Amino acid sequence: MVVRAPTSAVLIIGNEILSGRTAESNLQHIAQQLAQRGIVLHQAQIVVDEREAIIAALESLRHTHDYVFTTGGLGPTHDDVTTAAVAACFERAVILNPRARAKLLAHYGEDKLTQARLKMAHLPEGVELIDNPVSAAPGFRIDNVFVLAGVPEIMRAMLAGCLSRIVGGPALQSRTVHCLVPESTVAAELERIAGQFPECDIGSYPWFRFGQYGLALVVRCSDRAQLDAAASAVLELAQNYDPLAQLAL
Amino acid sequence: MVVRAPTSAVLIIGNEILSGRTAESNLQHIAQQLAQRGIVLHQAQIVVDEREAIIAALESLRHTHDYVFTTGGLGPTHDDVTTAAVAACFERAVILNPRARAKLLAHYGEDKLTQARLKMAHLPEGVELIDNPVSAAPGFRIDNVFVLAGVPEIMRAMLAGCLSRIVGGPALQSRTVHCLVPESTVAAELERIAGQFPECDIGSYPWFRFGQYGLALVVRCSDRAQLDAAASAVLELAQNYDPLAQLAL
């Protein structure tokens, strides 16, 4: 029986990524975590901290994927507009969430729970909170959308909390064949193998370093028998051109 | 006179990014190069190596931005489908481009110019080539879309070629104030400053390390006088809470 794997999209919110100031550093971690749980990450979008840009992206993603994960824009400053944009998408009011306020109160104490900090407890009505063990201000889930912080260590903690609560599919496993062969040399035969194993995703990733051509041929599949058979075929192909070609997990 | 800066989007094509296998490593470089030339990068999308996914993303981006830059999917293997997808977007046939063929011939020689390699000279009709000084197979420009390789060193060389030929706007400059202050402490006053300088983009980027809170407050503007005035106001604000707050270019 083939179980359909859930699909997902990531929406990264932050001017700092698009200005070139900051290297995006959350996507690979999210992608790896989703893959381990058999959730297919089908696309990612990166948008500026502007309400309309966030709304447009979220509307395009949330109806076409089982899950959407957003990162960034949850803080106390004027450029943090994610919560307002998500609320607008779902036509919910933004209200002071008593449980979120309690978390901030426990973290900061009454005297340091300023108006600016209280902004982080103003959330769309009817959300489920996502714990933030680092700095208290929670993320939240609304329908199929998980709204996470952008600071990597906070995002990772929040994501771990989310993933423990959602149902994944059969985990994708991968095998990689490493060889020193130009990819055009194996292109035709690799296409034939890909045709023989339609359930496997076979990717070809060339590299050039110090005048040397190399190639990583990656087979991904949730069915272990198909995976091993396809990987063996790819390894045999690679060894025809590079006797030292190797298979790695 | 305010000159409208051209807008742009980046479309990153590659299963390897969305599977978590590979960290995306082109976006920050592209973002920095565009910012230097006064081209606003408004969004980025990352999609799988599938024809329909590429077409959908490109159609959503090319009509709403002055320029679109794509990376990835130009190689000789079965999982390289970018050229076919771009051709479909523009309703052009894919043909053997004689100039592209000549470049591959010069690079490989007649005996090594295999069918697989010739695939890389099959391009949509009527495109302008983008040189590839690393491995010969060219990128191409079609209308406002620049189709670049995904291998970082090739992408960078291609991008440099493109950018020398397109018109930018006034370059965005930035100033950053670094301080050891929780961002909620300055949130209200920072919003007031942002309101006073509507032409400036003011971003607040907190960090947490070793139990220490820190904050980078980034001011960006293409008008130097506005930039300096806003940066001074932000520095003064930060120094109210951290006497060692510093301004950096």
The answer to whether B54 and B81 are in contact (CB under 8 A) is yes
* DSSP secondary structure letter of residue A119: G
| Residue in the structure block whose two tokens are 């975590």 | A33
CA B225 to chain centre: 27
**Measured between alpha carbons, how far is B19 from A197 in angstroms, rounded to an integer?**
19
pLDDT at B2 over 50: no
Q: Do the Cβ atoms of A174 and B19 come within 8 Å?
A: yes
Distance from CA of B126 to the nearest CA of A (A): 25
Q: Do the Cβ atoms of A19 and B207 come within 8 Å?
A: no
Give which of B104, B105, B185, B205 to mutate to test A binding, by max A Cβ within 10 Å.
B205
A248 touches chain B (CB under 8 A): no
Q: Tell me the HSE value of A109 on the side-chain side, using a 13 A CA sphere.
A: 2
The reported pTM is: 0.93
In this structure, the number of other CB atoms found within 10 A of the CB of residue A121 comes to 22
On chain A, the residues whose CB falls within 8 A of the CB of B214 are none
Distance from CA of A92 to the nearest CA of B (A): 24
Both tokens of residue A83? 């919560």
Nearest by CB to A116, from B16, B42, B187: name it: B187
For the residues of B56-93, what is the DSSP string, one character each? Answer: HHHHHHHTTSSEEEEES--SSSTT--HHHHHHHHTT--
pLDDT at A2 over 60: no
Give which of A33, A79, A83, A173 to mutate to test B binding, by max B Cβ within 10 Å.
A79
Nearest by CB to B208, from A35, A153, A204: name it: A153
CA-nearest residue of chain B to A76?
Answer: B184
User: B180: helix, coil or strand?
Assistant: coil
Sign of CA dihedral A70, A72, A76, A77: negative
pLDDT in tens, A25-47: 999 999 999 999 999 999 999 99
Q: Do the Cβ atoms of A218 and B77 come within 8 Å?
A: no
Listed by number, the residues of chain A in 2-41 with a beta carbon closer than 8 Å to a beta carbon of chain B are 15-24, 27-35, 41
Find all residues with CB under 8 Å of A224, minimum gap 6, and list them: A173
* Average confidence (pLDDT) over B141-157: 96
In this structure, the number of other CB atoms found within 10 A of the CB of residue A3 comes to 9
* Average confidence (pLDDT) over B154-159: 96
| Strand runs labelled E in A161-200 | 173-179
Listed by number, the residues of chain A in 69-98 with a beta carbon closer than 8 Å to a beta carbon of chain B are 75-80
Q: Counting beta carbons within 10 angstroms of the beta carbon of residue A179, is it exposed (0 to 12), middle (13 to 18) or buried (19 or more)?
A: buried
Confidence of residue B1 (pLDDT cuts 50, 70, 90): very low
Nearest by CB to B19, from A18, A21, A35: name it: A35
Find all residues with CB under 8 Å of A152, minimum gap 6, and list them: A25, A26, A29
Both tokens of residue A125? 């009505």
**Measured between alpha carbons, how far is B174 from B32 in angstroms, rounded to an integer?**
12
B63 touches chain A (CB under 8 A): no
On chain A, the residues whose CB falls within 8 A of the CB of B154 are 208
pLDDT of residue B213: 83
Q: Do the Cβ atoms of B44 and A48 come within 8 Å?
A: no
* Average confidence (pLDDT) over B66-79: 96
Longest dimension (CA), chain B: 72
Distance from CA of B128 to the nearest CA of A (A): 24
In this structure, the number of other CB atoms found within 10 A of the CB of residue A17 comes to 26
pLDDT in tens, A42-86: 999 999 999 999 999 999 999 999 999 999 999 999 999 999 999
B218 touches chain A (CB under 8 A): yes
For the residues of B96-164, what is the DSSP string, one character each? Answer: E-HHHHHHHHHHH-GGG--HHHHGGGEEETTPEEE--TTTS--EEEETTEEEE-SSHHHHHHHHHHHHT
In this structure, the number of other CB atoms found within 10 A of the CB of residue B10 comes to 26
What is the percent of chain A with per-residue pLDDT over 90, rounded to a whole number? 88
What is the percent of chain A with per-residue pLDDT over 70, rounded to a whole number? 99
Partners of residue A43 on adjacent β-strands: A9, B47
pLDDT in tens, A219-240: 999 899 999 999 999 999 999 9
**Measured between alpha carbons, how far is A54 from A103 in angstroms, rounded to an integer?**
27
Distance from CA of A35 to the nearest CA of B (A): 6
**Measured between alpha carbons, how far is A40 from A50 in angstroms, rounded to an integer?**
28
pLDDT in tens, B197-226: 999 999 999 887 777 889 999 999 989 999
* Average confidence (pLDDT) over B68-96: 97
Both tokens of residue B148? 């670049």
Both tokens of residue A151? 């600071």
* DSSP secondary structure letter of residue A208: E
* Average confidence (pLDDT) over A123-141: 96
